Amino acid sequence: MKKYLIIDFDSTIIKTETLEELAEEALRKNENKGNILKEISHITDLGMEGKISFSESLERRLKMIELDRDILDRVKDELSGKISDSILENDHFFRKNAGMIHIISSGFRELILPVAEKLGILAENISANDFVSDGSGRIIGVDKENPMSGDGGKINSLRDLDLDGKIIMVGDGWTDYETKDSGAADLFIAYTENVRRDNVCEKADYVAKNFDEVIKFFNSY
């Protein structure tokens, strides 16, 4: 039986949340930075509580931080230096098992690609959002045709991959767990190297504090 390892990006493969990195960079010289970051995290919460849709939450946050090419390029460079320690130490595992490994992230493909390349994860095995920009290069949103931009994005994107075999999802968040709850994934590993969420760990088949433990679980399964 084939098996697949599906890995979340933010706070799993990398130590931080991409959207927060983008906001920090975009608001670096903004005197109102504190208030805007607070409002962004309020909108994040509204989305997580289901009071607004994921797509609305993403769009509203992107509008508040006025992203342009320069900011994207700077954050892109920074993220390669923020790969989780135990993930970076196991890059040989990603290269060796490239056909079985996918990234599923509600983050942004363009920013995930260099990190994936550094680890030997295949570009075609990345499911993530795609930025849409206006004529002047300013980012105005994400591609709404992409299933990742909507509610249940991870579940729908995983189903679209139509993988034939046992599917093991690894991540730190509730939407990662939901891939198993919905039946799109067979097993869920809660990943706590960067952040531990008790409600997510309670639902997990296994709690891994680093990637060595994920590999052990994956190999024994």
Q: 68 or 202, CB closer to Mg ion?
A: 202
Count of residues interacting with Mg ion (CB under 5 A): 5
Using CB under 5 A as the binding rule, whether residue 153 contacts Mg ion is answered as: no
Using CB under 5 A as the binding rule, whether residue 173 contacts Mg ion is answered as: yes
Nearest-approach distance from CB 154 to Mg ion, in angstroms? 10
Nearest-approach distance from CB 213 to Mg ion, in angstroms? 17
Using CB under 5 A as the binding rule, whether residue 10 contacts Mg ion is answered as: yes
Using CB under 5 A as the binding rule, whether residue 47 contacts Mg ion is answered as: no
Neighbours of 202 (CB within 10 A): 10
CA distance 51 to 30: 29
Using CB under 5 A as the binding rule, whether residue 175 contacts Mg ion is answered as: no
Distances (CA, A) of 18 to 10, 30, 108, 126, 202: 6, 19, 8, 15, 25
Using CB under 5 A as the binding rule, whether residue 8 contacts Mg ion is answered as: yes
Using CB under 5 A as the binding rule, whether residue 21 contacts Mg ion is answered as: no
Q: 11 or 84, CB closer to Mg ion?
A: 11
Using CB under 5 A as the binding rule, whether residue 193 contacts Mg ion is answered as: no
Distances (CA, A) of 15 to 86, 88, 89, 162: 11, 11, 14, 29
Using CB under 5 A as the binding rule, whether residue 11 contacts Mg ion is answered as: yes
Helix, strand, coil % (nearest 5) of the chain?
Answer: 55, 20, 30
Distances (CA, A) of 26 to 36, 113, 129, 141: 11, 21, 19, 15
Using CB under 5 A as the binding rule, whether residue 178 contacts Mg ion is answered as: no
Report which of 125, 71, 123, 106 is spatially closest to residue 179, judged by C-alpha positions. 106
Q: 30 or 205, CB closer to Mg ion?
A: 205
Q: Strand, helix or coil at 132?
A: strand
Stretch that binds Mg ion, among 31-39, 119-127, 170-178, 197-205 (CB under 5 A): 170-178
| 162: Cβ contacts below 8 Å, ≥ 6 apart | none
Nearest-approach distance from CB 192 to Mg ion, in angstroms? 11
Stretch that binds Mg ion, among 54-62, 115-123, 125-133, 171-179 (CB under 5 A): 171-179
Task: Look up residue 166 and give its two tokens.
Answer: 């046992």
Q: Which residues bind Mg ion (CB under 5 A)?
A: 8, 10-11, 172-173
